C-alpha cells in the first residue's frame, strides 16, 4: 500500500470551510498538515513545519505582520492564501517575506503545485519527501502509477487516462469518502466549470471495467469511496 513520507505543513486559516478543504486535500496528497486558526497560535506553534500556508484575514493579527515575524525568526517557506488579488498586495507580501501567493478561491491541484514549487526552491530535502509513484494495492486491484497499468486479480484492465486518474485518486485512501467537488478539482481541473455528470459517467465506466459495481460506492449527497474487496 502507498505510504509516502509526509511533509509537515502548518495551515493558518480561521475560515472553517476553507480549512477543512485544505486539510483534507493536503492529507490525501501525502502531506501532514497541522491547523491553527489565529496569528498568535501560528507564532507560538512549537513544531518545526517544512512550510506554512498563511491566511491574511486572521481574527487577532494581520497576516502580513504574522508573515514578517515568522520570516524574522525562520527561513521556513511561506505561501499566502488570500482573496486580495491586487498586484500591490502581492508585491507587499512578497517583500514582507512570503515565498508565494495564491488567490482564493483556488483548487487543490494549484495549491499543491505551488507548495512543491516553493519547496524545490527552498530545500531539496523537502522535495525529496514528495510522494513516490509506488504501486497501490486495494484488495484485488493493483495500480502501477509509473506504467499506468491496472490489474484486477492479475488480469490487466484497459482504462482511459481519466479513468486511471480517477481510480488512482479513489485508491489513495480506500474506504474514505471523497467529496464530488474535491474529485472534480483533483482529477479534472481546479474550479471545474463543466458538467458534474462527467464524474458519474466515469464512475459507471470504471465499475463496468473493474467487473464489480459495488467496489465503488456512492455516498448520497457527498461523493464516492473505493471499497477494498478480495479477489475471486
Of the candidates 165, 171, 185, 148, which has an alpha carbon nearest to the alpha carbon of residue 224? Answer: 171
With cut-offs at 50, 70 and 90, classify the pLDDT of residue 196: low
- Greater pLDDT, 217 or 89: 217
CATH 1.10.10.10 fits 136-226, yes or no: yes
| Average confidence (pLDDT) over 52-57 | 94
Please check the confidence at residue 134 and state whether its pLDDT lies above 80. no
| DSSP β-bridge partners for residue 179 | 223
Which class is domain 8-127? alpha beta
What residue segments make up the domains of the chain, in order of their start? 8-127, 136-226
Please check the confidence at residue 193 and state whether its pLDDT lies above 60. no
With cut-offs at 50, 70 and 90, classify the pLDDT of residue 185: confident
Please check the confidence at residue 158 and state whether its pLDDT lies above 80. yes
Query: Do 87 and 59 form a contact (C-beta atoms < 8 A)?
Result: no
With cut-offs at 50, 70 and 90, classify the pLDDT of residue 123: low
Least confident segment among 58-62, 150-154, 178-182? 178-182
Residue ranges with strand state E in 86-193: 100-103, 136-138, 141-144, 149-152, 155-157, 178-179
Element (H, E) at 82: strand 78-82
pLDDT of residue 166: 92
Highest mean predicted confidence (pLDDT) among 77-81, 157-161, 172-176: 77-81
pLDDT digits (tens, 9 = 90+) for 200-220: 889 999 999 999 888 999 998
pTM of the model: 0.56
- Greater pLDDT, 187 or 231: 187
Please check the confidence at residue 4 and state whether its pLDDT lies above 70. no
pLDDT of residue 190: 57
Please check the confidence at residue 225 and state whether its pLDDT lies above 50. yes
Q: Would you state the cell numbers that stand for residue 202, as one nine-digit string?
A: 466515469
Of the candidates 66, 104, 59, which has an alpha carbon nearest to the alpha carbon of residue 85? Answer: 104
Highest mean predicted confidence (pLDDT) among 42-46, 121-125, 131-135: 42-46
Chain mean pLDDT for the chain: 84
- 25 burial class (0-12, 13-18, 19+ CB within 10 angstroms)? buried
Q: Can you tell me whether residue 109 is helix, strand or coil?
A: helix
Query: Do 80 and 56 form a contact (C-beta atoms < 8 A)?
Result: yes
pLDDT of residue 189: 67
228 Cβ neighbours under 8 A, 6+ residues apart: 138, 139, 174, 175
Q: How far apart, in whole angstroms, are the C-alpha atoms of residue 91 and residue 44?
A: 26
CA distances from 202 to 6, 56, 162, 164 (A): 30, 38, 8, 10
Amino acid at each position: 500500500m502507498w505510504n509516502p513520507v509526509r511533509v509537515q505543513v502548518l495551515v493558518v486559516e480561521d475560515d472553517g470551510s476553507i480549512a477543512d478543504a485544505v486539510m483534507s486535500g493536503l492529507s490525501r496528497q501525502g502531506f501532514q498538515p497541522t491547523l491553527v486558526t489565529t496569528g498568535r497560535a501560528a507564532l507560538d506553534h512549537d513544531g518545526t513545519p517544512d512550510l506554512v500556508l498563511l491566511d491574511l484575514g486572521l481574527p487577532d493579527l494581520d497576516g502580513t505582520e504574522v508573515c514578517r515575524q515568522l520570516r524574522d525568526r525562520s527561513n521556513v517557506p511561506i505561501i499566502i492564501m488570500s482573496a486580495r488579488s491586487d498586484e500591490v498586495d502581492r508585491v507587499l507580501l512578497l517583500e514582507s517575506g512570503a515565498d508565494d501567493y495564491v488567490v482564493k478561491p483556488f483548487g487543490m491541484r494549484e495549491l499543491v503545485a505551488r507548495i512543491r514549487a516553493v519547496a524545490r526552491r527552498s530545500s531539496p530535502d523537502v522535495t525529496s519527501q514528495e510522494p513516490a509513484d509506488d504501486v497501490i494495492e486495494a484488495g484485488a486491484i493493483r495500480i502501477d502509477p509509473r506504467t499506468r497499468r491496472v490489474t484486477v486479480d492479475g488480469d490487466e484492465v484497459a482504462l482511459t487516462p481519466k479513468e486511471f486518474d480517477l481510480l488512482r485518486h479513489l485508491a489513495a485512501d480506500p474506504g474514505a469518502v471523497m467529496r464530488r467537488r474535491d474529485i472534480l478539482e483533483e482529477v479534472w481541473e481546479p474550479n471545474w466549470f463543466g458538467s458534474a455528470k462527467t464524474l458519474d459517467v466515469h464512475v459507471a465506466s470504471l465499475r463496468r471495467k473493474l467487473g464489480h459495481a459495488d467496489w465503488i460506492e456512492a455516498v448520497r449527497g457527498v461523493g464516492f469511496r473505493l471499497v477494498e474487496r478480495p479477489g475471486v
